Amino acid sequence: MLIGANVSMSGKGMFLGAVEEAESYGATTLQFYTGAPQNTRRKSTDQMRIPEGLAEMAAGGLSHLVIHAPYIVNLGNTIKPENYPFAVQFMQEEVARAEALHAYSMPFHPGAHVGAGAPAAIAQIARGLNEIISADQHVTIALETMAGKGTEVGRTFEELAAIIDRVDHQDKVMVTMDTCHISDAGYPVRDDFDGVLNEFDHVIGLDKLAIIHLNDSKNPQGAHKDRHTNIGMGSIGFDALYAIAHHPQLAHLPKILETPYVGTDPKHKHAPYAVELNWLKTGVFQPEELTALAEA
């Protein structure tokens, strides 16, 4: 099973450290940001320990490296056109970094219309992608399904399809399906995930699905809030997420957990991923393990 978590690429370890962290959780795939997602400061690729990271992935049997684009970039903002050139330039550089890391795909939050309306944002996001994407790149950009918070674009499969339809190199554009986001957007993830997949297939096409972000939600279906919570601790529940992790139509796709760290001390929280990944592999849900970890 291709399953892993969002890990950190920072400090002296860089890419090698990120792979080693993923291995410590029992992961078979991994995701990280090339820098803090809240800003655009990035190290050069020659400082990222790329050959060592790739060698460790091969030795540990990990594959399908996922590089998440920072969510500070908003290609959909037509209200402030002066921000658009930098957003395009930064994403072009981020694609180059992902290429250097031999990444499989890049989840990308499409953006927000900030009051101008979704059609205007969709047109500009597609325009930006046409400037960012080159015909010879290997990494795909995987537009992420969004919860519909504020003026986010991508809250429906139709909005993502409208972006993809306007992109020139459509083979370079895929989709990341986030279970928390689509539940918060109103899709019945807990009660009818097969129906959700069927709708996705009719609107976008299952061949466009590249990544699953496997997260539980703190909020009820349709809340439009985007609050991730730990596996089995939210409104989607363990049984539904376990079924998604083992869904035969998704077997070839990396499933990435982005659930919150746990702990009573804000300065010393613990990654839940070794525990949660074990639950999803074995089907044995033991929430007391997470409680014990939080209290450690």
* DSSP H stretches of helix in the chain: 14-24, 50-60, 84-100, 118-132, 157-165, 179-185, 193-203, 238-245, 273-282, 287-295
- Rounded distance, CA 75 to CA 121, Å? 8
CA 138, 147, 244, 256: dihedral to nearest 10 degrees?
50
- The answer on whether 202 is annotated among ligand-binding residues is no
- The answer on whether 64 is annotated among ligand-binding residues is no
- The answer on whether 181 is annotated among ligand-binding residues is yes
Residue identified by tokens 């504020």 is 150
- The answer on whether 23 is annotated among ligand-binding residues is no
- The answer on whether 228 is annotated among ligand-binding residues is yes
- The answer on whether 213 is annotated among ligand-binding residues is yes
Pair of tokens at residue 263: 């702990």
- The answer on whether 178 is annotated among ligand-binding residues is yes
| CA-atom Rg of the chain in angstroms | 18
- The answer on whether 169 is annotated among ligand-binding residues is no
Q: How do beta strands 66-67 and 216-217 pair?
A: unpaired
Q: Give the annotated binding-site residues.
A: 68, 109, 144, 178, 181, 213, 226, 228, 258
Q: Residues at the annotated binding site for Zn(2+)?
A: 68, 109, 144, 178, 181, 213, 226, 228, 258
